[in-house]
Amino acid sequence: MKSAGNDIVALNVIDKQRTCQPVFYSKFITPFELALYHQPQMAFEIFVWLLWSVKESAYKYLKRGDANLVFSPSKIIVQDIEVSREFRSDRWEGDQSVGMFFKGNVLYDTHTLYFKSIIYDEFVATVVNGENNFQYVYWGVQLIDKSDSVSQSENVRLFVLNKLNSLFPNYALSIDKGPAGYPILFNDGKEMDIPISFSHHNRYVSYSFLNLK
Amino acid sequence: MDRKEILSELKKVLAPYTESKEMLAEINEQTDLIKDLKINSANLVDIIIDAEAQYNIEIDFDAAEKMYNVGNCIDVISEKINKPA
C-alpha cells in the first residue's frame, strides 16, 4: 500500500508532570513498550511522546487504506527503538546539526511499519513507511508565528507545496482534504499518486509525502 | 445523570483544549473533537483523564478509543456512571 503518515508533538506545551504519571501514559503505552525505555537516552516524558508520535503516524498511514479505522493507540505497539545513524541520507527538510535521531518498527494487527523520529529541544517529529527504506519519503518541520488552527492549516500547506513545487516546477499543484480526512494532492485538478500527511501542534507544522519518481 | 447533564459537564472538560469557543457552546452528539472543535490529538489523553476526574469513573483502553466524537464520549461516560459497583 502506498501511503504516508507523520506526527509532531510540541514538547514546549506538554504537561511534563502529568505525562510521567502512570494514569496518563498507561492509557496508550503497553508494559511491553515501557520495557523499551532505557535511561539516559532521553527523559521519560520525551519517551512517552515519542511513542505517541509513532502511534499517531502509524494510524494516519493505515487510515488511508482503511477509512473506518479508529485510532487505538494501545493496539499500535512499538516493537523496537534504536538510535539512528542513517539520518543524513533522509529527505529531511530542516536542521540536522542538533537533535537526536531514532528509528524502529511498529506493529498493528498484521501490519508492520517502520519509523524515523527526530527529537529537538521543543518537538518530537516522526514519519512512518511501509518499507524499511526512506529513500522516497520526504518530510519536514517548520516553526510558524501563530498557533491557531487556521494558521497551522495554511502554513503546513504552503510548506509542503513549496517543497513539491521545487520537485514539479511546471505543475499546477493544489491540496484538498478527502472525505476520510487525509490530504490529497492535485495537479491541475487531477489527483496525483503522491500520498501526503500533515501534522501540527502549537507553533510547529510538519509534512511527509511519498514520491517514488 | 442523563445525557443532557453529561453533555453540560463535558463542555467544561473540553473547554481548556479547544480554541473554538463558539463551536463548544453549540456542540451536539455529532460534534467531532478533532475536526469540529479543533482539539489537537495530543490532548485526547488529557481529556480522558479529566473526564475520569470530573465523573469519578475509570475509562479503560477499549472505551477510550471510542471517544472521538461527543456522542461517543457521552456513551462511554454514561455506561461507566451507571455501571453497578
Rounded distance between C-alpha atoms, residue A99 and residue A90, angstroms: 15
Higher pLDDT, B65 or A172: A172
Q: How confident is the model at residue B85 (pLDDT cuts 50, 70, 90)?
A: low
A200 to chain B: which residues are within 8 Å by CB?
Answer: 40
Is residue A141 included in any domain, yes or no?
Answer: no
Which CATH number covers residue B24? Answer: 1.10.1200.10
Size of interface A-B (CB pairs under 8 A): 40
Answer with the one of A136, A162, A184 that is the final residue of a domain.
Answer: A136
Residue the block writes with cell 499546477: A172
Same domain, yes or no: A75 and A171: no
Q: Does B2 lie at the interface with A, CB-CB under 8 angstroms?
A: no
Closest CA–CA distance from residue A168 to any residue of chain B (Å)? 30
A24 and B49 in contact by Cβ < 8 A? yes
Q: Is residue A110 part of a domain?
A: yes
A201 contacts B40? CB cut-off 8 A: yes
Q: Identify the pLDDT of residue A193.
A: 96
Domain region containing B70: 3-81
Residue that has been written with the C-alpha cell 516524558 in this structure:
A45
Does a structural domain hold residue A144? no
- The verdict on A42 and A69 lying in the same domain is yes
pTM across the whole model: 0.93
User: What is the pLDDT, as a whole number, of residue B6?
Assistant: 93
pLDDT tens digit at each of 213 positions of chain A? 899 999 999 999 999 999 999 999 999 999 999 999 987 778 999 999 999 999 999 999 999 999 888 888 999 999 999 987 666 556 777 766 667 889 999 999 999 999 999 998 799 999 999 999 999 999 999 999 999 999 999 999 999 999 999 999 999 999 999 888 899 999 999 999 999 999 999 999 999 999 987
Total number of domains in chain B: 1
Confirm whether A108 is domain-assigned. yes
**pLDDT at residue B79 is higher than 60:** yes
Residue A24 covered by a domain: yes
The residue among B19, B41, B68 with the most chain A CBs within 10 A of its CB, best to mutate, is B41
What residue numbers bound the domain in which A69 lies? 5-136
Total domains in the fold of chain A: 2
